[in-house]
Amino acid sequence: MEDGAKPRDLEDRTFLFAESVRGFVKQLPRTISNTEDVRQLVRASGSVAANWIEADEALSKKDFLMRAKICRKEVKESRLFLRLVDTGLTKRSVASRDALATEARELTLIFASIISKSR
């Protein structure tokens, strides 16, 4: 995310998170472990955005809660893989990873709040 500006709409925010992850992984060293970790990171971050769209269009409260829980699970998984990737030695890569990890933590808290308020 640029400028420190955070979109208000969660659909936009989750999309920007997934998009930012994709930009970040392009800077990473091509190592065997990164190949697998990046694959998981890209899938999980995209899943957050996709499942939020599903939650927003849920047919029932039960469906909404399930999708919101999947969002929370996938953003936690994204954070794990952000911690696992080898950023190499550049300060820029480390700073990008840390910013994404902060956003993942904030999204986790948002989804946790949504889940607790929806019960």
Residue 2 has pLDDT above 70, yes or no: no
Residue with tokens 């899943």: 47
Residue 4 has pLDDT above 70, yes or no: no
Rg (CA), the chain: 14
pLDDT for residue 100: 98
Confidence tier at 8 by pLDDT (50, 70, 90): low
Q: State the Cα–Cα distance between residues 45 and 43, nearest whole angstrom.
A: 6
